[in-house]
């Protein structure tokens, strides 16, 4: 069928009270995207001519997200009339008046539903000339779901909501998954006939299916093969369950693509992350956002990484890394904090207990121990001594520092920005560098050392120190 004749309506107007959250349910995050983002990405991948999210509760916030990430979607607003049927009617109003194709209806809280499942439902719907096709699931615990009522010969009759069901109906394990394909014209006319005489006083979309049968139209209900695909999220327990299952599937897909994952149970990978062949992920690692790890790199154990690029063969151990670029063969950690704008060159090193921010550290350069590098550019093959602080803040404004290539700075230096250290320069241990250092110079400003002879023996008599000093001298 032509994509011009397909629309997808995504229901996202409900209040999601069971989340008990200030944030709208569909904006809760799952593997790096809001729930609604997963659904709209799937709808967009189907290539439908019209993608129509229906909003109401916290509509400004949700609409802002939709406009930013799915600008071709047409946002519809639900009015005061409650219920999924009314929500779909409002969605239909956003379509061109003469639209007469197929309408897929799904929910913003069913994030794992995928393109193949929708394509196959749509295919069966069109091939059989149905007015409505309903996706169902046979579940262990049908509590809360609409039950699928079938005739003795298995034909679909109607959907009865949990709160409207009698004792026999409550025993039925086949439930409405909340995913449908309708013929647009039939859907419009059926919804016009649906009332709200039910336990919740709402206009139910589910009643449109029974109405179509009543009008002599063809309606089918098809069970999905994999129940996870239609798992709906109503509360945070379900959110955590779906998150764990999705993460397991993401890990499995990467394992099949050549990534070693030591412990999928403690490794969390957003859907937006990219991994190369022979990447190794060790336990307790979270990879988020637009993180991209290239072939042969090892990340973990216990790395939290956001929006970061790691090049071939690099190693990152027990560190927190955001918005950074780590070069080929470079090494980071253990116990370092790389903040936005950190760029570590090939074979460079950011070692143990080091914090970096907006810091460009050239190829082969090292910041191995106990340092802060903020707003600095360091050339190639330089070594920054242990315990060095780039003092970038004068209390009012931030300033930058530049260190050349092949520089050796002593331990426990302070670089008071703005400052420039030339190529091949040295600085002595304990230097507070306040003036620029020319290429090849040695900078030192440490006061000369004085040793007061026998000070301990005369000023601290009777102490263990004095005793030890006395012994050493005699
Ligand atoms: C709905 C179905 C039920 C099905 C279940 C599957 C109806 C009447 N019932 O029940 O048969 O088993 O989904 O998960 O459709 N929404 C709106 N506007 C509204 C009400 C809801 O947009 O006025 C949206 C919600 O934001 C949500 C979706 O529709 O995304 C489903 O609503 P929800 O209240 O969760 O319906 P269920 O009670 O779960
Ligand atoms: Ca629901």
* Per-residue pLDDT of the chain in tens (474 residues, 90 and over written 9): 567 799 999 999 998 999 999 999 999 999 999 999 999 999 999 999 999 999 999 999 999 999 999 999 999 999 999 999 999 999 999 999 999 999 999 999 999 999 999 999 999 999 999 999 999 999 999 999 999 999 999 999 999 999 999 999 999 999 999 999 999 999 999 999 999 999 999 999 999 999 999 999 999 999 999 999 999 999 999 999 999 999 999 999 999 999 999 999 999 999 999 999 999 999 999 999 999 999 999 999 999 999 999 999 999 999 999 999 999 999 999 999 999 999 999 999 999 999 999 999 999 999 999 999 999 999 999 999 999 999 999 999 999 999 999 999 999 999 999 999 999 999 999 999 999 999 999 999 988 999 999 999 999 999 999 999 999 998
Domain boundary residue, one of 307, 334, 361: 334
Residues 215, 267, single domain; the answer is: no
Closest CA to 51 of 15, 10, 85, 110: 10
- State yes or no: is 369 an active-site residue: yes
Give the closest residue (by CA) to ligand 1 atom 26: 14
Please identify, among 334, 351, 367, the residue that sits at the C-terminal boundary of a domain: 334
Give the chain's domain count: 3
Instruction: Return the structure tokens found at 6.
Output: 């397909």
Nearest CA to ligand 1 atom 11: 146
For the CA of 207, the closest atom of ligand 1 is 8
Residue list, CB under 5 A from ion ligand 2: 232
From CA 426, how far away is CA 424, in angstroms rounded? 7
Instruction: Indicate whether 187 and 309 sit together in one domain.
Output: no
- Report how far residue 353's alpha carbon sits from residue 374's, in angstroms, rounded to the nearest whole number: 14
Which residue out of 292, 320, 369, 399 is catalytically annotated?
369
Whether 42 and 136 map to the same domain: the answer is yes
> Are 281 and 165 in the same domain?
no
Relative to the alpha carbon of 161, which ligand is closest? 1
The predicted model scores a pTM of 0.94
> Which ligand lies nearest the alpha carbon of 12?
1
User: Do 275 and 313 lie in a common domain?
Assistant: yes
Q: Are residues 123 and 13 in the same domain?
A: yes
Contact 409, 390 (CB under 8 A): no
Q: How far apart are CA 343 and CA 376, in angstroms?
A: 10
Closest atom of ligand 1 to 205 CA is 15
Measuring from each residue's beta carbon to the nearest atom of ligand 1, which residues come in under 6 Å? Answer: 11-14, 54, 78, 82-84, 86-87, 107-109, 145-146, 159, 161, 175-178, 204-206, 232, 234
Residues 115 and 175 in one domain: yes
Distance (angstroms) between ligand 2 centre and the Cα of 35 equals: 13
Looking at residue 53, which CATH number applies to its domain?
Answer: 3.90.550.10
Alpha helix positions (H), 47-104: 59-69, 84-93
Of 334, 359, 390, the residue at which a domain comes to its end is: 334
CA atoms within 13 A on the CB side of 212: 27
- Which residue, by CA, sits nearest to atom 8 of ligand 1? 204
Range of the domain at 472: 449-474
Q: Is 21 helix (H, G, I), strand (E, B) or coil?
A: coil
Instruction: Flag whether 398 is in a domain.
Output: no
């Amino acid at each position: 069928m032509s994509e011009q004749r397909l629309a997808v309506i995504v229901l996202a107007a409900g209040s999601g009270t069971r989340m008990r959250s200030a944030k709208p349910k569909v904006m809760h995050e799952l593997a790096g995207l809001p729930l609604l983002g997963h659904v709209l990405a799937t709808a967009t991948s189907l290539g439908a001519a019209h993608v129509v999210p229906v909003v109401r509760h916290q509509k400004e916030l949700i609409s802002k997200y939709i406009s930013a990430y799915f600008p071709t979607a047409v946002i519809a607003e639900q009015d005061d009339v409650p219920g999924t049927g009314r929500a779909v009617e409002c969605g239909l109003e956003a379509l061109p008046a003469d639209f007469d194709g197929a309408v897929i209806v799904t929910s913003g809280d069913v994030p794992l539903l995928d393109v193949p499942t929708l394509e196959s439902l749509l295919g069966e719907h069109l091939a059989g000339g149905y007015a409505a096709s309903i996706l169902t699931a046979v579940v262990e615990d049908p509590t809360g779901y609409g039950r699928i009522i079938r005739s003795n010969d298995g034909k679909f009759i109607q959907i009865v909501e949990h709160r409207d069901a009698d004792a026999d109906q409550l025993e039925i394990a086949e439930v409405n998954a909340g995913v449908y394909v309708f013929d647009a014209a039939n859907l419009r006319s059926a919804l016009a006939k649906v009332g709200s005489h039910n336990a919740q006083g709402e206009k139910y979309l589910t009643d449109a299916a029974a109405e179509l049968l009543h009008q002599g139209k063809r309606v089918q209900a098809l069970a999905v093969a994999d129940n996870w695909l239609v798992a709906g999220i109503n509360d945070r327990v379900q959110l955590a369950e779906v998150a764990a299952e999705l993460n397991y599937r993401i890990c499995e897909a990467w394992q099949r693509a050549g990534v070693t994952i030591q412990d999928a149970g403690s490794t969390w990978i957003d859907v937006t992350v990219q991994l190369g062949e022979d990447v190794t992920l060790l336990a307790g690692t979270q990879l988020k956002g637009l993180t991209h790890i290239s072939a042969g790199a090892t990340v973990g154990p216990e790395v939290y990484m956001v929006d970061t690029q790691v090049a071939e063969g690099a190693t990152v151990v027990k560190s927190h890394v955001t918005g950074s670029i780590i070069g080929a063969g470079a090494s980071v950690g253990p116990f370092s904090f790389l903040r936005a704008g950190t760029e570590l060159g090939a074979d460079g090193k950011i070692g143990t207990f080091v914090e970096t921010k907006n810091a460009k550290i050239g190829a082969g350069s090292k910041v191995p121990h106990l340092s802060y590098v903020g707003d600095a550019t360091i050339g190639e093959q330089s070594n920054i001594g242990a315990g060095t602080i780039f003092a970038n803040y004068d209390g009012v404004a931030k300033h930058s520092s530049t260190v050349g290539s092949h520089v050796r700075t002593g331990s426990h230096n302070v670089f008071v920005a703005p400052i420039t250290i030339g190529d091949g320069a040295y600085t002595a241990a304990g230097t507070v560098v306040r003036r620029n250092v020319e290429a090849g110079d040695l900078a030192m400003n440490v006061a000369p050392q004085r040793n007061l002879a026998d000070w301990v023996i005369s000023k601290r008599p009777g102490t263990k120190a004095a005793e030890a000093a006395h012994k050493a001298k005699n």
